[in-house]
Amino acid sequence: MSAEIKNLEPKAIWENFYLLTQVPRPSNHEEKAREAVMNWAKEHNLDAMMDEVGNIIIKKAATPGMENRMGCILQGHLDMVPQKNDDTVHDFENDPIDAFIDGDWVTARGTTLGADNGMGVAAGMAILTATDIPHGPIEVLITATEETGMDGAEGLKAGILNGDILLNLDSEDEGELYVGCAGGIDGNFGFNYKEDAVPAGMKALKLSLKGLKGGHSGMDIILGRGNSNKLLFRFMKDAHKEFGMRLASIQGGSLRNAIPRESFAVVLVPEANVAAFEAKIKENEAIYKAELSAVEPTLAFFAEACDMPTSVIEEKVQINLTHAVLACPNGVERMSDSMAGTVETSNNLAFVESKDGKITINCLLRSSVETAKEALVQAMTSVFELAGADSIEFTGEYPGWKPNMDSPILKAMQETYNGMFGKIPEIKAIHAGLECGLLGSVYPNWDMISFGPTIRSPHSPDEKVKIDTVIKFWDFLKETLKNVPTK
């Protein structure tokens, strides 16, 4: 059971993380978690407040002799990505996360774990209640609704926080310090459709393409994992041409910041073509498995008989939608010239759904180069214009975070880590939307670094955090606070 994680070291972090697993906190439904954190702060006689957008700010004075140190803001986000396996029964708005120890890792049963960014929040809480850690003035900033739009960072007001250094605790590789991140923008596209009558002589089938790993659309996009939407529409294009397949409904992916793992479609096929159609599915499954053998070993593609739908999507829109999905850029567009091994620009074709006469397509574009992001917007606009989309909109843009290699806290943390572990930590920029870009635009004086324990497969039900790296992360955080530069 999940309570076993409270006995792990460092208990200061794991007890707080356990608390977070017991309260619902999917993005846009963080009310119970906010209440739990505010009650926790009250129980510990901490100076806590909540701003108008749901950010929680908790302050702690410097320990004796450390009053002359620069003030540090420890920052993480409260919400988590709600993803579960298809066969897992879980209500993210009401049910606790069932975390458990699996060898060297902590993971969850069939759902996301919420280590992104529960570990960062739990660490900030642990610092607030510690009595044996020397530190300067501390402020813990727990932001709201990061995963679906960085609402908390977007709504943070100037003048509330007094610190000089931001330690963002939302990175996922222990031993690495992040000094920059990509900016992003949401792509939203729509096709309106009429409902045609079901043609005679057809059989209804539900297509399921599932078993993919998915993952974080920023961190994991470089891994070349399959996109269930792309693979399903790749099949449907040929199936329409060869067998006269008609599309009744489509539902692929779930969240724009998660690589889609599962896509489903209800289709109609002429009864005379069903056997050949099903053979084509097996053929495509074998092709996909061969192409993605190294990254998607559990991929599955199959059809099952289902109830006859009352209508089908008009054929012209079906064709245009298929063209758009297949032509839309997806995955890595360009690698960085300045930071080897780092993605510069990417797109995640995350979500496709038909409902009530409209097909919705959602994407998340990322780039550390603003002009490259603009070029990708232009390319995707052209794709959907040519495909006859009825709506094309880009929203929720947020800035990247430009590296500062002359950062005083970067130098201090490099020296601290080297002194503790005998090596210099790697300095990197991340192809994900850390809140540092937005927060730095409100507080331009902040010197910013992001770091954390090792987390794998965030934004997917395979999410897990490596136990021994939490110990190193905690020890490094404590030692960093001791070595913060003076004012």
pTM of the model: 0.80
Does pLDDT of 1 surpass 70? no
CA distance 423 to 429: 19
User: Could you report the per-residue pLDDT of 238-287, keeping only the tens digit for each?
Assistant: 999 999 999 999 999 998 999 999 999 999 999 999 999 999 999 999 99
The answer to whether residues 293 and 422 belong to one domain is no
The answer to whether residues 344 and 207 belong to one domain is yes
Q: What pLDDT score was predicted for residue 188? A: 98
Rg (CA), the chain: 24
The answer to whether residues 276 and 377 belong to one domain is yes
The answer to whether residues 68 and 213 belong to one domain is no
CA distance 372 to 344: 8
Does pLDDT of 14 surpass 90? yes
pLDDT band at residue 194 using 50, 70 and 90 as cut-offs? very high
The answer to whether residues 257 and 391 belong to one domain is yes
**Inside any domain, residue 487:** no
The answer to whether residues 109 and 238 belong to one domain is no
Q: In Å, how far from its chain's centre is CA 198?
A: 39
Cβ atoms of residues 438 and 153 within 8 Å: yes
pLDDT band at residue 118 using 50, 70 and 90 as cut-offs? very high
CATH no. for residue 266? Answer: 3.30.70.360
Q: What pLDDT score was predicted for residue 107? A: 98
- Number of structural domains (the chain) is 2
Residue 445 tokens, joined = 């004086």
Residue 395 tokens, joined = 């929203």
The answer to whether residues 164 and 247 belong to one domain is no
Q: Which domain holds residue 48?
A: 2-182+400-482
Which of the two residues, 468 and 428, has the higher pLDDT score? 468
**Inside any domain, residue 140:** yes
The answer to whether residues 240 and 359 belong to one domain is yes
Which residues, listed in sequence order, are joined to residue 391 by a DSSP beta bridge? 190
Does pLDDT of 128 surpass 60? yes
165-168 and 447-450 strand pairing: parallel
* Domain boundary pick from 398, 433, 448: 398
Q: Judge whether 79 counts as a catalytic residue.
A: yes
The answer to whether residues 150 and 19 belong to one domain is yes
Q: What pLDDT score was predicted for residue 23? A: 97
Q: What pLDDT score was predicted for residue 434? A: 87
Q: Catalytic one among 30, 139, 146, 186? A: 146
User: Could you report the per-residue pLDDT of 348-369, keeping only the tens digit for each?
Assistant: 999 999 999 999 999 999 999 9
User: Could you report the per-residue pLDDT of 47-58, keeping only the tens digit for each?
Assistant: 999 999 999 999
CATH no. for residue 97? Answer: 3.40.630.10
Q: Which amino acid is at 259?
A: I
Q: Residue 346, exposed/middle/buried by CB under 10 A (0-12, 13-18, 19+)?
A: buried
Q: What pLDDT score was predicted for residue 6? A: 95
CA distance 237 to 265: 13
User: Could you report the per-residue pLDDT of 64-107, keeping only the tens digit for each?
Assistant: 999 999 999 999 999 999 999 888 999 999 999 999 999 999 99
Average pLDDT of the chain is: 96
* Domain boundary pick from 398, 430, 459: 398
Q: Judge whether 146 counts as a catalytic residue.
A: yes
Does pLDDT of 303 surpass 90? yes
The answer to whether residues 78 and 61 belong to one domain is yes
Task: State phi, psi for 173 to the nearest 5 degrees.
Answer: -140, 105
Q: Which amino acid is at 111?
A: T
Q: What pLDDT score was predicted for residue 98? A: 96
Residue 361 tokens, joined = 């397509």
The answer to whether residues 335 and 392 belong to one domain is yes
User: Could you report the per-residue pLDDT of 385-434, keeping only the tens digit for each?
Assistant: 999 999 999 998 988 898 888 999 999 999 999 999 999 999 998 898 88
* Domain boundary pick from 360, 379, 398: 398
For 150, the enclosing helix (H) or strand (E) is none
Task: State phi, psi for 82 to the nearest 5 degrees.
Answer: -90, 95
The answer to whether residues 338 and 218 belong to one domain is yes
Which residues, listed in sequence order, are joined to residue 141 by a DSSP beta bridge? 57, 75
Q: Catalytic one among 79, 154, 164, 333? A: 79
Which residues, listed in sequence order, are joined to residue 426 by a DSSP beta bridge? 176
